[in-house]
Structure 1
Amino acid sequence: MAALTDRHGRSFPYLRLSLLEACNFRCSYCLPDGYHAAAGTPRWLGREEIARLLRGFAAVGLRKLRLTGGEPSLRTDLAEIIADAVATPGIQTVAMTSNGILLRRRFAQWRAAGLSALNVSLDSLDDARFHAITGRDRGAEVRAGIELALASDLPTLKLNAVLLRGLNDDELPAWLDYLRTRNLTVRFIELMQTGDNRDYFRRHHVRAEALEQSLQGQGWQLLPRAATAGPAREYAHPGFRGRIGIIAPYSRDFCAGCNRLRVTAHGDLRLCLFGDFGIPLRPLLQSDASLDELTATLHAQLGLKQAGHGLHEGRTGLTRHLASIGG
C-alpha cells in the first residue's frame, strides 16, 4: 500500500500517539493547576483499539512510533502497549516521552517489552528550579532514573528542556558540564504558545536561535537528519560525549521537514500540533474489517495538511495545552 504523502511532497513515517491526557506534574508552561478531567470526557483508547490503529498506520508507512501523554507511564497497561507496538510488522522504533517520575521503578519493564528510545523531560539540573517549573520537588529522583537508563542497553536516550526566559535560560554552562561525559542528547525546546498559556508565553518566551548561534560559535557541528527523526536540529562536538538538539518552531522553514502525524488519546487524527480540527478515527478501530477504510481515510485527510502552522500569527488551533495532545 502506498506510503502517506501530502500535497507539499512530505512523507510521514512517524506517529506520535497520546495514551492519555492526565499528568502527575504541574509544569508552569503546560498544566500549572494540574490535570482536571472535564465532565463527560470519553475513555482513552483501549489496548485493542491502539493495536488496530498501529496496524493501519504501519500499512501506509509508519516506521517510528512515539508514545506520549499527558504522562504515558500512568497507563497500567503501558508495557503491554509497547509490546504490541514492537510486534506490529513495519514498526522499527518504539519511543516514549515521559516526565521520568516512574523511571527507576518501571524502566526495566518498558525495556523488556521492547522500548527502543526514551525522551525524559528535565527542564533544569537545579533542584529548586526544577521544583519551581514542574511543581514537583523530584528533580533528584528523575535524574537518578536517567542514570539508570543511561547505564542500560537502551539504544537512544534524550532529555527535553523547555527554554524559559528568566527561569532556566542561563543554564547552558551547567548542561555542557553534564554532557561532557554522558552519551545522550539534550534538546532545548523553544516555548510554544498554546490556548491556555498566552500571558506566560509573553513573559517567558525566548528565541532558540541565540542559543544555536552560541553553540556554533563554540565549535558545535550540525549533524545530518535521519528520515524518521523528530524536529530537532542536532549538534555534536568532539570534546563532548553528549549531543545538543535545538527545536525552534518559530524559525523560518521549520515545517518544511515535517514527517509526523498525531493521534489524541481519544482517537482523533491531528494533521498538525496546532491544527484547527481533528478527524475522529475511533469509529474505524472497532474491528479489523475497518482497516482498509482507516488507511483510505488517512490518505484522504493528508490532502488537507497545510504547509505550516500559524504560531507566528498567534493561532494555536485546538491545542489548549501540550498535555492534551502530547507535544
Structure 2
Amino acid sequence: MHSPPTLGKVNMSQLQDSFGRRFHYLRMSVTDVCNFKCTYCLPDGYRPDGKPTFLTLNEIENLVAGFGEVGTQKVRITGGEPTLRKDFTDIVRIVADNPNINTVAMTTNGYRLQQHAKEWYDAGLRRINVSVDSLDPKMFYQITGENKFDQVMRGIEAALEAGFERVKVNAVLLKGLNDKDLPRFLQWIKNTPIDLRFIELMETGLGHDYFNAHHLAGVDIKKQLEREGWLYDLPSVDDGPAQNFSHADYQGRIGLIMPYAKNFCASCNRLRVSAKGKLHLCLFTENGVDLRDLIQNPSQRDELISRLHGQLAQKKETHFLHQGITGVTQHLASIGG
C-alpha cells in the first residue's frame, strides 16, 4: 500500500464543511444484507426490498478514486455484513490498491473471520472492528439471534494472529441486557490487546420503544471507568468522536462513543456512502444524495468531486438526536452504521 501525504498537509481540494470540519474518512457500505438479527438493528432479520442492486466493483473503484482525490485517506468497508459478498476480497484489494488510501478497515459480525482473516490481510485489509455485544454466549444469542459466539471469538483470535494493525470489538450498551457485562469485558482485555468500544444506543425510526427500554447513557460508563483508574487518552486524528481510555494494568483500551454527549459532532471526520450509492452526510436527518450516476467511469471524476463539495456545504452542525429528532433512518444496517 502506498503512503499519502500526512493529514497535516491539507489538500486544497479536501472536503470541508461550512463549520471547518475536514473529512478524510469514508464509511462505504457494500451490502445491506445481514445474517444476524440484532435486536437493536434488525430484530426481524434482513428483509430485501426487491432485487438487490449493490455497488459493483467498477463503481466501488471509481467511488474510492473520487474520494481519494479530495483527501480521503481511510476507507471502512461496512454493511449489513460486508463479508456476505462473494467478491469481498476483491473489494478490499481495489480499495487497498488506491494510492491515496493508507488505511483499509472493515466492520463485521465476525462469522467468517476465522476462515478468511489471513486472506483479507494479504489483500490489504489492516483494521477490523468486530461486533460482540456480550461475552456471555446466552446473552450473545439473545441479542444477535444467532448461536455463533464461539465462532466469532475464534475469528477474533485469527485476526490477532494474522497481524492486523488494530482489532477492535464493538459492543452496543443495552440496559437490562448486557449492562452487567462490563467486569467480564474488562477481564478479557486485561491480557488481550483489544480496543474495546462501547457504543451508546441511538434511536432510529423503527426503534422508539426499544430505545426507551434499553438506552444506557455512555457517560455513566465513563464515570465508572474513571473511578477505577482509567485515564483519558489525547485524541488522535483517527479517533473522530470516540473518547479513548487506557489503564496501566491492561493491555487493551476502552473507547466510548456517546452520541448524546455535548459537542459529539464537533470532531466529525467521516462521510458515508450506502450500498446503493447514496452519499449520507450524517447517520440521521437526511435521505442521502445519489452518486451512482457519477461513478460509472473515470471520466466523470470532476463532476463527482464537484457534487461532493456541493453537498458538504449543506452539512448540518449536529445530528439533533439530543432533541429527539431521529430523521428518516429506519435502521443503521441500511447505510452501514
Tell me the TM-score range normalised by the shorter chain: over 0.9
Identify the match of residue 314 of structure 2 among 304, 307, 315: 304
Summarize deviations over 1:250-300 as a string: whole Å, max 9, x none.
000000000000000000000001032311000001111100000111111
Q: Which of 61, 69, 73 is 1:51 aligned to?
A: 61
Q: What amino acid sits opposite 1:98 in the alignment?
A: T
Aligned residues: 326
Give the aligned partner of residue 64 of structure 1: 74
Deviation of residue 215 (structure 1)? Answer: 0.6
1:167 corresponds in structure 2 to 177
Q: Does the residue aligned with 2:162 lie in a helix, a strand or coil? A: coil
2: CA distance, partners of 1:129 / 1:42: 32
Which one of the candidate residues 34, 42, 55 is aligned to 1:31? Answer: 42
Separation in 1 of the partners of 2:14 and 2:294? Answer: 19
AA in 1 matched with 2:32: E
What residue in structure 1 maps to residue 238 of structure 2?
A: 228
Contact 1:20 1:71 in 2 (8 A): yes
* Equivalent of residue 2 in structure 1, options 6, 13, 23: 13
Determine helix, strand or coil for the equivalent of 1:194. coil
Distance 2:59 2:84 in 1: 18
With normalisation by structure 2, the TM-score equals: 0.95
Give deviations 1:48-82, integer Å, cap 9, x for gaps: 00000000000000000000000001011111111
Distance in 1 of aligned mates of 2:148 and 2:287: 36
Q: Is the 8 A contact 1:99 1:122 kept in 2?
A: yes
1:216 maps to 226
Which SS does the other structure have where 2:121 is aligned?
helix
- 1:196-218 residue CA offsets vs partner (Å, 9 max, x unmatched): 11111110001010100111111
Which residue number in structure 2 is paired with residue 204 of structure 1?
214
Q: Which secondary structure state, in structure 2, belongs to the residue aligned with residue 219 of structure 1? A: coil
In the alignment, which residue of structure 2 is the partner of 1:241? 251
Match of 2:31 in 1: 20
Is 1:284 aligned with 2:290? Answer: no
Amino acid of the structure 1 residue aligned with 2:313 = G
Q: Distance in 2 between matches of 1:275 and 1:59?
A: 27
- Tell me, yes or no, if structure 1 residue 146 matches structure 2 residue 179: no
Structure 1: gaps spanning 5 or more residues = none
- Any conservation in 2 of the 1:63–1:228 contact (CA below 8 Å)? no
Percent identical across equivalent pairs? 48
Letter paired with 1:51: E
Structure 1 residue 184 and structure 2 residue 194: aligned? yes
The aligned amino acid for 1:163 is: L
For the 8 Å contact 2:240–2:267, the answer to whether it is kept is no
Maintained 8 Å contact 1:13/1:228? no
Paired with 1:228 and 1:248, the residues of 2 have a C-alpha distance of 16
Instruction: Specify the code of the residue in structure 2 equivalent to 1:49.
Output: E
Take 2:328 and 2:123, find their aligned partners in 1: how far apart are those partners?
33
